[in-house]
Amino acid sequence: MAVTQLHNGNADGVQLGRDADDLVGFFGATPVDQEAHIADATDAATAITQLNLVIASLETYGLLATS
């Protein structure tokens, strides 16, 4: 199977989505716009909450499988 590369031939790189409301999805996930900022954790309890938000965001984009 041939692989298709996302490459534009210059050193500036490639962007997926130009604006925060552009939709992006991976591995067959429904494309969504940019997730909101997740606040910094201030203690162990908020660290767990914030980590769960990061995991949920990765699942939404299709970068982690949902449970």
In contact, 49 and 39? CB cutoff 8 Å? no
Taking the complete model, does pTM exceed 0.85, yes or no? no
Q: What is the pLDDT of residue 59?
A: 96
Give the CA-trace dihedral at 29, 60, 36, 25, to 10 degrees.
-20
pLDDT tens digits, 8-55: 888 888 888 999 999 999 999 999 999 999 999 999 999 999 999 999
Q: What is the pLDDT of residue 1?
A: 77
Checking if the pLDDT of 6 tops 90, the result is no
